[in-house]
Amino acid sequence: MTASLGSIHATADVADSASIAGGSKIWHFAQVREDAVIGENCIVGRGAYVGTGVTVGDNCKIQNYALVYEPATLANGVFIGPAVVLTNDHFPRAINADGTPKSADDWHPVGVDIREGASIGASATCVAPIVIGRWAMVGSGAVVVKDVPDFALVVGSPARRIGWVGKSGQPLMIDADDRNLYICPATGERYRQTHENLLIEDD
């Protein structure tokens, strides 16, 4: 295991080939599998699971009992709420059609790609293969089965977009004079909607 200036609790199960960058904390009973990479200043909460080869960027939070199955990729600043599940099997079965137990060679894992700053609310399930866009927010308990655009706020099962959020996480307010212009009430940043996408003005 490669670790520098990080904190790994004595009860955590961290593979020797995992890489834990400086300032990161791996809490009680968490498991970080072989060849996983955890960036700087991350938190992996109690009982969380980070799968083989998963890549986690800097300043991420993976809360208690979240399950991040390989080959998931988390960019910088991603928040994974408690008991979130990132799946990796399109056609899950314990056995093959002939009744024999499935082995690692009998399926091909697919991953969830979570982009910079996105947040996944408690107990949400993200069904791979999907992309969660930059600064998007997935509501608690949602079941995400298709890609989520940047800055989108999605809820429900299956998850659907009900609005837009800014980098602060707060819902954006639509401009009274321009129905395609949105403003963050916390930062004053301005965003423009084009079809089903949202961009920061001058981004």
pLDDT in tens, 140-193: 999 999 999 999 999 999 999 999 999 999 999 999 999 899 999 999 999 999
> In terms of pTM, does the model score above 0.85?
yes
Q: What is the pLDDT of residue 68?
A: 98
DSSP SS3 for 123: coil
pLDDT in tens, 2-43: 545 569 999 999 999 999 999 999 999 999 999 999 999 999
Task: Return the domain boundaries, the chain.
Answer: 2-166
Q: What is the pLDDT of residue 104?
A: 85
Q: What is the pLDDT of residue 195?
A: 86
State the Cα–Cα distance between residues 57 and 52, nearest whole angstrom: 15
Tell me what the mean pLDDT of segment 108-121 comes to.
97
CA angle 146, 151, 157 (to 5 degrees): 35
Instruction: Assess contact for 57 and 40: CB atoms under 8 A.
Output: no
CA angle 111, 116, 117 (to 5 degrees): 115
pLDDT in tens, 28-86: 999 999 999 999 999 999 999 999 999 999 999 999 999 999 999 999 999 999 999 99
Which DSSP category does 100 fall into? P
Tell me what the mean pLDDT of segment 108-133 comes to.
97
Task: Dig out the tokens for 162 from the structure.
Answer: 């009900």
Fold of the 2-166 domain? UDP N-Acetylglucosamine Acyltransferase; domain 1 (2.160.10)
